[in-house]
Structure formats: C-alpha cells, structure tokens
Amino acid sequence: MIAKANRRGVDTRALEKKIPFEVDYPSALKTRLSKMGQKERIAFLIRNILTLRPTWEREYDAQALADEGAAAVPAIVATLTEIHGEIKRNGFTRKGGAVHLLMAALRCIGDNRALPILQMFEEQPGVFYRDYDPNKGKPNHFIRGSAQAAIRDIKEGRHYCVALFY
C-alpha cells in the first residue's frame, strides 16, 4: 500500500516511521525501491547482493532484481564479468554467494544475452576463498552447477522464482 502511494507521489515518511519495517524486510525493501528509478533500483540491488552479509534478505534482493526483468540483464552480466575477471587475475574470489544469487536472477529472467557469461563460469568457475592449488583444492562445482542449470533453463525457456533454487 505504501509502495503504491510512493509511486503516485504521496509523501509517506510520517506513516513509515510508525510501522516497524525492520521485522518485515520484503515490505521495507518494496517501500524503499518504490522511491527509486529503475536504474537506481538495479544498482542498489546489485550493491546489496555484493556487499551485504549473505543472509536470507539477499534472496529477496535477488528476486527483486529478477523482477526488474530484461532491463537488469546488462548490469548483472557486467557484474559477473567483473567477478570472473577477478577470478582469472587472483585465482579466487570471496563473492561466491553473490555469484550464485546473480545467476539465479538471470535464470529467473531467462534472457539469452546472459548465456556467454554463464558459459564462462561453466568452463572456468574458479575457486572461492583460497588460492587454487591442484593438490589442495578443486574448482567450485556449486557455481559450475548453478551456471549449467541457468543455461539449461534459459535455453528451454523455463522461469522460476529465486527461492526455488534453495
């Protein structure tokens, strides 16, 4: 209700102060996003996924990102390309959970423009949290599996919500 009022231009700050949104993250997120333009929403959600602690709230962020549809694909692809470059340079990244959520959002959207970056992660998924040493560790099969599932669903035209991937 507050999100609809915000979209119509109604000032809801006084009402928002009376409602304890901190206990209901989805409502608070919807209200906050309703005050932003589309590009700002996409950037905000990607920043949340990349920088905040990997809690259940990040799944809501990923679903909201997927709800932005095809407009979010270029930003998600650019972010995944940057992370893939980090893996190639350093041999590892600490953003494995974020990679999975961004892939889940792409899987929900189902846009073919995402296939090249997903195939890059399928072929070279990298190692997360430590340097890769063939004698000590192996590539992250969780991310490879996420990429394979996203590729399959995009090619077959299937769409799911993010929560179904857990």
| CA distance to 49, 74, 112, per residue, from 70 (Å) | 18, 8, 10
In the block, tokens 């962020």 appear at 61
Find the angle CA(40)-CA(45)-CA(48) to the nearest 5 degrees. Answer: 125
In the block, tokens 């992250």 appear at 140
61 vs 135, higher pLDDT: 61
Q: What is the pLDDT of residue 124?
A: 72
Structure confidence at residue 166 as a pLDDT band (50, 70, 90): very low
For the stretch 135-160, pLDDT in tens is 554 556 678 888 888 999 999 988 77
The answer to whether 151 and 103 have CB atoms below 8 angstroms apart is no
50 contacts: CB under 8 Å, gap ≥ 6: 79, 95, 98
**Residue 131 above 60 pLDDT?**
no
